[in-house]
Structures are given as C-alpha cells and as structure tokens.
Amino acid sequence: MTNSAFQSNGSRLSRIDVAFHRLEALLNGISGVVIFALVCLAAVNVLGRKVFNLPLPGYIDWVEQFMAVFAFFGLAYCQRLGGHIRMDIVIGRLHGRPLWVAEILSVALMLVLTTFLVYGCWFHFLRSFDWAAPLWSRDSSIDIALPLWPAKLIVPLSLALLWLRLLLQVWGYGRAIRLGSTNPVGVPIVLDTGTVATQEAGAVEGRNGRSD
C-alpha cells in the first residue's frame, strides 16, 4: 500500500514521467530478482557448510557485489512513489501553491546534493577502474578477486537516474505552481494519514473476503 497517488494526462511532462517510470520499475524488478538470488545463494552456502562441510567459495564477495544492485537500483523508483522517509508535520498542513513551493524547495535541495554525490561516486569508480590495466588486475575483492568496478559503477549510474527523477519533479512542482494545480502530474501526491489508513483497511478487508 502506497502513501501517495499519481495523476497523468496527455502533457509532455506526463508522457516523459510514464516512460521514465518504466525504466525505474524495470531496475526495481531487477533488484527484487537479485535479492531472491542472494537468498538462494545463502541457502546453498548454509547447506554446503552444514551437510558437506564445503561452504560456497567467495560467498561474502558475491554478497558485497550484489548489495549495490538492490541498495541503489530502487532509488529513483522509491522517489517517484514518494516512498522515502518524510517529516511532514508542517508540510502536511499546507495546500495548493504553498505546498508545491515547499515541495519544490526540498526536491531542489535533494537535486543539488545528488549532483555532488554523482560527481564524487563517478570519480570513486574511476579510481577503481584502471583503463590501462587488464580486467583481472584491477581493484578486486579479497577472497576470490572479483572486480569491484561494476558495483562501484552502479552507484553513480543509479544516482544519475535519481537526479533525472528529481529534475522531473522540479518541473512538475514548478508547473503546479504556475498553473495553480490541485493534482499536478509528474510528482507524488502524498495522501493524508486518514486516507492511507482507509486504503489499508480496505485492502485488509478485501483479502479477508477472498479468504472466506
């Protein structure tokens, strides 16, 4: 159950938002597959250790590599849903243009911060990736010498996608301020606590009804 809603129409912003969300959903789905694969990998490692006294070689190395996938691939997707932790004691009391002004200020601040993060993480990746050295001689893990640059590349790429999502949201909130929209497109519309509770209660009742 999400705590936000979305509007769409035939505007250019809405079309870009929907198309970009397909990419975000794909990467978020890949994150889920990776989590499932790591669960299977953990089961194989435990069974191998307990039954055959033969743990999976490089298990920790593989986990460290794939953590970057599910930790960062879903950033833009979560931002699109408005799923990140919010402190909305004050913002929750605003409506209309004052609300969109507060939202655009916070998103713009996140955009600036993400810009610096993309810049720093990209150079961190470059330090790990020696273009002149063979692939097997670059920065690698301790146990089975997995190259670390793919995981380090995931971070700036995922942050770059988050940067684009934030840019779309700045556009969306700016458009809402200009038009005085009550239900703008391209941004999550955060629902009040009562609406979220009603939706959750309805979902629970629906599940109980199907089970009877």
| Residue carrying structure tokens 């490089």 | 58
Residue 122 domain-assigned (yes or no): yes
Q: Which domain holds residue 145?
A: 4-85+93-199
Q: What pLDDT score was predicted for residue 1?
A: 44
pTM of full prediction above 0.95: no
- Angle between helices 149-179 and 96-128 in degrees, nearest 10: 160
Mean pLDDT of the chain: 84
Q: Please tell me which residue, 123 or 208, carries the higher pLDDT value.
A: 123
Residue 212 domain-assigned (yes or no): no
pLDDT confidence of 4, banded at 50, 70, 90?
low
Q: Please tell me which residue, 7 or 196, carries the higher pLDDT value.
A: 7
In this prediction, residues 144-162 reach a mean pLDDT of 91
What is each CA distance from 112 to 107, 138, 154, 163, 167, in whole angstroms? 9, 32, 20, 9, 10
pLDDT confidence of 134, banded at 50, 70, 90?
low
Residue 208 domain-assigned (yes or no): no
In this prediction, residues 190-197 reach a mean pLDDT of 64
Residue 205 domain-assigned (yes or no): no
Tell which phi-psi region holds residue 94, choosing left (phi > 0), alpha (psi between -120 and 50) or beta: beta
Residue 191 domain-assigned (yes or no): yes
Residue 144 and residue 59: Cα distance in Å, rounded? 9
What is each CA distance from 41 to 27, 55, 59, in whole angstroms? 21, 11, 8
pLDDT confidence of 96, banded at 50, 70, 90?
confident
Residue 207 domain-assigned (yes or no): no
- Please count the structural domains in the chain: 1
Residue 189 domain-assigned (yes or no): yes
Greatest mean pLDDT range, 46-55, 72-81, 94-103: 72-81
Residue 10 domain-assigned (yes or no): yes
